Structure formats: structure tokens, C-alpha cells
Amino acid sequence: MKKDRRVLVDHSSLDDAGVFAYGRGEALVQTVDFFTPVVDDPYDFGQVAAANAVSDVYAMGATPITALAILCVPETPLPEGTLRAILAGGQDKLKEAGVSILGGHSVKDPELKFGYAVTGVAPRRRLLTNAGARAGDRLILTKPLGAGVLATALKRGELDPAAVRRMTRVMATLNRAASEAAVEYGARAATDVTGFGLIGHALQMADASAVTFRLRPSREWFQPRALDLAARGVAPGGLKSNREFYGPRIREGLIPEPLRLGLYDPQTSGGLLIAIPPRRASAFRAALRRRRVWHVDAGEVAPRSAVAIELEAG
């Protein structure tokens, strides 16, 4: 099918969202995501589902404006107030993001699922795609990793309440402040870290930009408990398949095994991975600190080598 010239980004580029030219120099940025509960509390689940759905828009450097709710509901009755709490969690989180809910659709499904189709807007020339990273850029990660391992431990009843609260807070945090700072300080490229793990999404960015990412992972990239659990073999199915799929394209280096595993951990509502020109990196980091955005230096962008990702001891 011949593509409409107004389609600036579609699914084929593995970018976070589709982009459509609309208006004078503006673009619509659109994405849809919904999934099964990752936490037990329905209000928290609604918050996480909303933060996750708008994240793809933030990853493109755009401002989300509208959302349509998507709800899959079992016919067997849920505990009283469950659906109301999920919708309220989503609504409150979207309000925080300045997003208006225009409608939605619900269907029957034995497994509860919730999420949104989200539309954002941005000036076309300020969009952050996967393709803009250049050799010399610094890489910044804006949320700690480990959500997949922790959620697996939660399902097995092996996670203490404090860890559950931390994990939930991380997933429910909007990538808004990180995205706004990235646009303001001239970031060259960004993606959000979700199902393919840090490695998978970094690799897509490195490929799209025709560069190699040098990552220097350390324990501080992870939520507390996540690496210990990973070392004990607690891992979601997606971690293994990510490693099988992306592993051959990585130079894994001499880093400890649990750390290595954690880089393949699939994230829900993960942070942004941002490529920023070196001369702007320290001002950008200061801006993230001022805006209270958790972040770590993840490494830097190098000219393309034989592999897309090189891991180095941190």
C-alpha cells in the first residue's frame, strides 16, 4: 500500500508511536496500549495503565491531549468497586497529565484488561524519534529498571509491601517532566523502555540512528531487590525471550550475571532513554534534578561498530 505522505512515522520504524502531519508544522502523535493488571490494587492499576499509555507520546517529545479508554471485563463479577477504582485511577493520572478522556469502549473478556488510545501533539521539528542519536551523545535513563522481575515476585507472593509500593510508584510516575526537559534541552533522540527491556529498546534506537550504544550498567540503575531476585532466578518469561532475541547483537562484556539479566527485563511503564549532545548534558542533568526526575548516566553513543550495543563494566 502506498503510504500517505502525511504519515511521518508508522509501525514499520519500531518507533514508540505513530506520527501524522497535521496543521502548520504540527503533528499528531498516536499510540494504543492496554494490558492485564500488574499490581493488585485496582486504583494503582488504573494509574499505571494511564502512565504507560501516555508514555509513548512523551517518548516522542509530544504533549498528550486526548484519550479513549479501552476496558476488557470478565462476565464473572469482580469485587465491588473494582472497575470504578480502575477508571478513577486512570482518570486521575490523565488529569495530572492534562489529558482529556473523550470516550471509550468495553468488551467482554475472561481476563480483565485496561488501557487507552492516546493522542498527542508536537511541532514536527521538535519530535524525538529513535533515529536522531549521534556519536558523542550522552545517554540518560530516567526510571530505575526491574519492574518485570519485581512484578513476577509479587505474583509469587515473594515481595514485601515496601517494595510493592516503590515498584507501583515507579510505574505510575509520568514521563512528562523527563520528556519536557529533553525537548527543552535539545535531546536528539528518545524512547521509552517497555516490553523489550533496556537492551531491546536501546538496540532499536542504535539501529535507527546507525550508531553503537556503549552502556555501563551498575546496581544503581535498578530498584532495590530486583537484582537479588533476578540472581535467584525470579524472572518473567519476556526476560528470557528478550535475551535470546537481542543477545546475539550485544557485546555483553565482563559484567556480573544478575546485572546483565536485568538489562533484558521487560518493563511496564518504564523510563525514557534519552540521547543528549555532550555540551548540553550537564545542564540537562541539572534540569532533571530540579524537576525531581530520577536519572542515571547510562553511557554514550559511539560510531557504529560490529554490534549495536556494547556493555562495559561500570
**Interacting residue ranges for a copy of itself, rule: CB under 8 A:** 1, 3-4, 6-7, 9-11, 17-20, 22-23, 26, 28, 30-35, 65-66, 68, 70, 72, 91, 95, 98, 100-105, 107-111, 113, 115, 117, 119, 121
* Percent of the chain that is helix, strand, coil (3-state, to 5): 40, 25, 35
108 versus 292: smaller Cβ distance to a copy of itself:
108
E strands within 92-245? 100-108, 113-123, 138-141, 189-192, 211-215
| Smallest separation (angstroms) from a copy of itself to the CB of 105 | 5
Find the helix or strand (DSSP H, E) in which 162 lies: helix 161-172
Q: Please state, in angstroms and rounded to a whole number, the distance separating the CA atoms of residues 88 and 293.
A: 25
Residue 71: phi, psi to the nearest 5?
Answer: -130, 125
| Smallest separation (angstroms) from a copy of itself to the CB of 62 | 13
121 versus 131: smaller Cβ distance to a copy of itself:
121
Residues 6+ apart with CB under 8 A from 136: 277, 278, 300, 301
104 versus 277: smaller Cβ distance to a copy of itself:
104
C-alpha cell at 294: 530520577
| Smallest separation (angstroms) from a copy of itself to the CB of 10 | 6
66 versus 191: smaller Cβ distance to a copy of itself:
66
Please check whether residue 219 is in contact with residue 145, taking contact to mean a CB–CB distance below 8 angstroms.
Answer: no
86 versus 287: smaller Cβ distance to a copy of itself:
86
Using alpha carbons only, give the angle 47, 51, 53 rounded to the nearest 5 degrees: 115
| Smallest separation (angstroms) from a copy of itself to the CB of 98 | 8
E strands within the chain? 7-9, 18-21, 26-35, 63-73, 100-108, 113-123, 138-141, 189-192, 211-215, 250-251, 272-276, 296-303, 309-311
Q: Please state, in angstroms and rounded to a whole number, the distance separating the CA atoms of residues 164 and 160.
A: 6
Please check whether residue 116 is in contact with residue 90, taking contact to mean a CB–CB distance below 8 angstroms.
Answer: yes
Q: Which amino acid is at 276?
A: I
205 versus 276: smaller Cβ distance to a copy of itself:
205
50 versus 250: smaller Cβ distance to a copy of itself:
50
Angle formed by the axes of helices 42-59 and 161-172, nearest 10°: 40
75 versus 80: smaller Cβ distance to a copy of itself:
75
| Smallest separation (angstroms) from a copy of itself to the CB of 11 | 5
110 versus 248: smaller Cβ distance to a copy of itself:
110
| Smallest separation (angstroms) from a copy of itself to the CB of 309 | 25
Q: Please state, in angstroms and rounded to a whole number, the distance separating the CA atoms of residues 78 and 62.
A: 36
Q: Please state, in angstroms and rounded to a whole number, the distance separating the CA atoms of residues 144 and 221.
A: 5
